[in-house]
Structure 1
Amino acid sequence: MRRLGLVDIGSNTIRLVIFEYTESKGLQELQNIKTPARLYQYLDKNKVMKQEGIDVLCDTLNSFQQVAAKFNVEALYPVATAAVRQSKNIEEIIERVKENTGVTMQIITEKEEAFFGYYAVVHTLNFSDGVTVDIGGGSTEVTYFEDKELKFSHSFPFGVVTLQKLFFDNKKHNDEKAVSQARAFIKEQLQGLKWLAKRKVPIIAIGGSARNIARIHQSLVEYPIAGVHGYSMKEEAIEVVYKKLMNSSMDDLEDLDGLSRDRRDIIIPSTLLFKELYHEVEATEFVFSRKGLREGVMMSILEKEYKHPFDKHEVFKESLRNLAYSYNIGQEEAQQRQKLAEMIYYELEKNGLIDGSKLDKKLLLQSAYLFYLGSYIDSDAASQHTYYIISNSSLNGVSHRNRVKLALLSSYKNKTLLKFYADETGWFTEAEKAKIQLLGSILKFAYALNSSNTNVVNSLYLEKSKDRYNLVILYNGDPIAEEYQVERQKKHLEKIVKAKIYITFTENLQ
């Protein structure tokens, strides 16, 4: 186990994130605290950071070191971006910080900042192609990637604090003239980046401003599940948020759900950037990534110490494995469920009883892996806990809709509970719910076939006999628990085949 801390010294905020990494659970965030330091405001007109700003930085780092010590952090990595990077007295800042805190800051270059954001995105979201954008206080990084490989990157020397100072200083947050001037400036800057136009791919947005926009929209539409990582919005949704911000007074913004108080004066400049970027890229959607610079830096550090700790081509698979480990699902029992579910699925498909598809089979196997993980909390309420854990977990590499579908299937108990859970979101058609019920019936039976968790069942096959079906189950060991449970659960398969099923357990002597 490694426990590491990263201090992200940005232009707008300074944030401490404490991570824990194990090969079984992957990279997990233990603690995340921030302070709105606004270091950019301490840069004078000559880009020299004032003494007051250096003092704020030193005080914050000393406080964060105390927190890190209480969490037994073995190494702390302070990384600084635009506000420090753009300072003319950068050497003085580094020296003063070292003297007052004992910490040596690492200055992240523009190119590195763009790369780390991209790196985190492709390792935690399942998009092959995309444009990333990370708007900070004093700079904005954009990248373009294809097949998860970085093609282009650029850092603009302006961010939300810069835009606020340039166009909204001593003006209302929604001043029409300031908005018009800021929009024209942003548009001109984006158009100057020739590789950006008309990519027609998703925009993946990183950072606090994007997170606030996603949360505001979730609040406005009364979004039924938790989490913003992977949250997707269309252009109209961004417009809804923008109009809400423009039509709100500063007092109204203070009470707006999803908006941090310290971002009230800078949220409109960031929204303008996202709107113009969406138009320039001709984007297909706007997706928020909770993972960015900090995770990218930490992943890069761990890549040097471990052999392939992260796989950008198996993001969701790794996420499922880590979740299963967190809820004490054993690898052997999970793999046995997958094996049994796959055999049942094949027999039903072979006999023409279901119309199979690769996507259905993939979802079935993913759900078999996590089936009833909620029993870790309470076996009597395993279905309920399973649904709410999975549907509200921040899983990497899967859309929110597919995450809920996975939750519905992994928690399947009966048609009544399925309808109850599905009605919470209202996202699924009757045909989709019927398919989930069918796959869930297979899972229930597969679960019964390993009731003792001793993996006694080796194989099975289904045969038609007049007006009934015979299911022959081959085993090694003692299937006493399985014999009892499959008789109770065979009704789920009988609804699929629309006939009686007779079950025979046969010892596998081979």
Structure 2
Amino acid sequence: MSAAENAVRPAAEAERGPAKVVGVIDIGANAMRMVIAQVRPDGAIEELERTQRAVRLGHDTFTHGRLSQRAMNAALGVLRDCKKLLATYQAEGVRAVATSAVREAANADAFVDRVAMAADLDLEVLDPAEESRLTVSAVRQAVQGVLDLGQAHALIAEVGGGSTLLTVLDRGAITASASYALGSIRLQEHLATTQEPQARAVALLRQQVSNVVEAIKRALPLGKVNTFVAAGEEARFAAQHIGQAAAPTGRVWTVEAKPFDRLVADCARLSPERLSKKHGLPLQSTERLVPAFLIYHALLHATPVERMLVCGVSMRDGLLLDLARRVTGADDPELAEGVIQSARTIGEKYRYDAPHAEHVAALAVRLFDELQGEHGLSPRHRLLLRVAATLHEIGGFVSNRSHHKHSYYLIANSEVFGLRREEVLVAAHVARYHRRAAPKPTHLEYLALPREDRIAVNKLAALLRVADALDRGHARQVRDFHIERPPGELVLYVRGVADLTVERRALEEKGDLFEDTYGLRLRLEEDAAPAPDARRASPME
């Protein structure tokens, strides 16, 4: 780059604003890790510092079901140090998260409260779906230029201390995502292998891993996988010893199956102490090595793939990407499609009427866009409305009677890839109120929502009720409309439909929530203008 170009670049960046420092803290089963990075105005991320401290929260959770006071105090001490370091860098955005060791602890809420009081951090306990989303986001970016996920049937696996996250992508679309209680620390605590001779310990680990992988093979289409992507510290260890660099960044490697077989066998013969001495690693790392290797090895051989692609990224990199997008205002291009695909998978599980669901979803988001000035909700709420509309009738799988209540239960107890737990609950409530009674003070689950979420549920459910009324007969005849706003009213003029009697009656039954929420009387009218062709008329366009 010329001197002139060097001079122009800082000036251009100064116009867009200075770089911002962000930090992520990951509280895992065996260690607490922090990454501090600088986000430039163009979204580029420059890592400034990484720290890691051993805190064995998983030992208590996986053996006793709760976090001990000693472990919590140790964690709080580390978090105070993290907070001081973040202050030194003047970090403007911080996201602190915890995974399975905290998520599964009976006293998780007490720990979250103590973190807020002692370290002034808002600790977020991630659900498995959000963990998977963050990992997949980091992997997608890492493999750019190396692997076209849009042409692959890929399995992305990340083995952690408490669980293994698996995500299946078919030509770039997420078709399945699941978390299994198969972590490197959990296995050892569950089987008490640390007191066993090495050969006996490995035999116990192999058997348990084999049992879980057999269940995974029944749940996920591993036989169709043609690309195996591994993320996680132990996978990186393997890649650095026997892998071949697949990208100039030094963060992507290919590892052939046969050399990996030999590496697993060699490491399995050595105790954690001997592995530590041989490879110069801390004992806390070598304790996890063999269990994690056995999990990756079993998963790899459960597919027809002969090599694995190892990405030197983790969920923390996904967290950094999220913070960077938040700083720059950019969107994750694959997130929305991943969320919707996950919702469709749930719908298929409960035998939903896909054409009706997709049509209602399209009408609902069209109404959302038309009424942006009235509701003032975010693009994220638009996505939640689309999920709720896609799944609003899945309760019919249980019973057609009160199916809206069954829809709420099924959605609220599902994992939707890319949505946090509180977002799933919002979508569940929106689906629950697509028919019959509007929210009432006697609806305890609704009252338990934060006030902002209750307001969002009312606004979104009102739109969903209108959209569902427009497809009352599941005939999908209402394809295009335009809106006019005379004083105190909202009039939907529908093109190409000669008789709207059924839809008008449905709207009379379901329009009360809209009128109460938006303060507008809703009216449906036939539009005499010629209907455009079906493709242009689709509300999906």
TM-score (norm 1): 0.56
Alignment pair present for 1:181 and 2:204: yes
- Write out aligned runs for 1:359-370 (5 A): none
Alignment pair present for 1:110 and 2:132: no
- SS across alignment from 2:168: strand
Q: Separation in 2 of the partners of 1:43 and 1:19?
A: 31
Q: Separation in 2 of the partners of 1:84 and 1:249?
A: 28
CA contact (8 A) 1:200 1:284 kept: no
- Write out aligned runs for 1:17-96 (5 A): 17-24=35-42, 26-43=44-61, 45-96=63-114
1:214 to 221, 233, 239: 239
Question: What's the offset of the Cα at 1:176?
Answer: 2.5
Q: Separation in 1 of the partners of 2:329 and 2:229?
A: 28
Q: What's 2:169 paired with?
A: 145
Question: What's the offset of the Cα at 1:12?
Answer: 1.4
Q: 1:228 to 1:239 in 2, by over 3 A?
A: farther
- SS across alignment from 1:231: strand
CA contact (8 A) 2:99 2:127 kept: yes
Q: What's 1:199 paired with?
A: 224
CA contact (8 A) 1:137 1:162 kept: yes
The one-letter code matched in structure 2 to 1:282 is P
Q: Separation in 2 of the partners of 1:26 and 1:236?
A: 37
Question: What's the offset of the Cα at 1:295?
Answer: 1.8
2:308 to 286, 290, 294: 286
Question: What's the offset of the Cα at 1:201?
Answer: 2.2
CA contact (8 A) 1:44 1:50 kept: no
CA contact (8 A) 1:110 1:141 kept: yes
Q: Separation in 1 of the partners of 2:43 and 2:114?
A: 38
- SS across alignment from 1:264: helix
- SS across alignment from 1:158: coil
- Write out aligned runs for 1:354-433 (5 A): none
2:279 to 237, 257, 269: 257
Question: What's the offset of the Cα at 1:261?
Answer: 3.2
Q: 1:90 to 1:18 in 2, by over 3 A?
A: same
Q: Deviations over 1:204-261 (max 9, x none)?
A: 222222222223336xx9x999975111101112112112213335443123337443
Q: What's 2:254 paired with?
A: 232
CA contact (8 A) 2:199 2:269 kept: no
Q: Deviations over 1:321-345 (max 9, x none)?
A: xxxxxxxxxxxxxxxxxxxxxxxxx
The one-letter code matched in structure 2 to 1:9 is I
Q: 1:189 to 1:59 in 2, by over 3 A?
A: same
Question: What's the offset of the Cα at 1:89?
Answer: 0.8
CA contact (8 A) 1:17 1:32 kept: yes
Q: What's 2:290 paired with?
A: 268
Q: Separation in 2 of the partners of 1:192 and 1:4?
A: 40
Q: What's 1:122 paired with?
A: 140
Q: Separation in 2 of the partners of 1:169 and 1:137?
A: 15
Question: What's the offset of the Cα at 1:117?
Answer: 0.6
Q: Separation in 2 of the partners of 1:250 and 1:298?
A: 32
Q: Separation in 1 of the partners of 2:246 and 2:172?
A: 31
The one-letter code matched in structure 1 to 2:211 is E
Q: Separation in 2 of the partners of 1:109 and 1:25?
A: 27
Question: What's the offset of the Cα at 1:300?
Answer: 2.6
Q: Deviations over 1:145-193 (max 9, x none)?
A: 1232222100012310011123353435x73333223222222212223
Q: What's 2:328 paired with?
A: 306
Q: For the aligned residues, what is the CA RMSD? A: 2.7
Q: Separation in 2 of the partners of 1:24 and 1:124?
A: 18
Q: Separation in 1 of the partners of 2:305 and 2:46?
A: 31
Question: What's the offset of the Cα at 1:307?
Answer: 5.0
- SS across alignment from 1:113: helix
CA contact (8 A) 1:10 1:137 kept: yes
CA contact (8 A) 2:198 2:269 kept: no
CA contact (8 A) 1:229 1:289 kept: yes
Alignment pair present for 1:101 and 2:126: no
Q: 1:47 to 1:276 in 2, by over 3 A?
A: same
2:181 to 157, 160, 166: 157
- Write out aligned runs for 1:243-254 (5 A): 243-254=265-276
CA contact (8 A) 1:214 1:228 kept: no
Q: Separation in 1 of the partners of 2:172 and 2:62?
A: 40
Question: What's the offset of the Cα at 1:304?
Answer: 4.2
The one-letter code matched in structure 2 to 1:177 is R
Q: Separation in 2 of the partners of 1:143 and 1:54?
A: 31
Q: Separation in 1 of the partners of 2:323 and 2:268?
A: 42
Q: Separation in 1 of the partners of 2:307 and 2:119?
A: 44
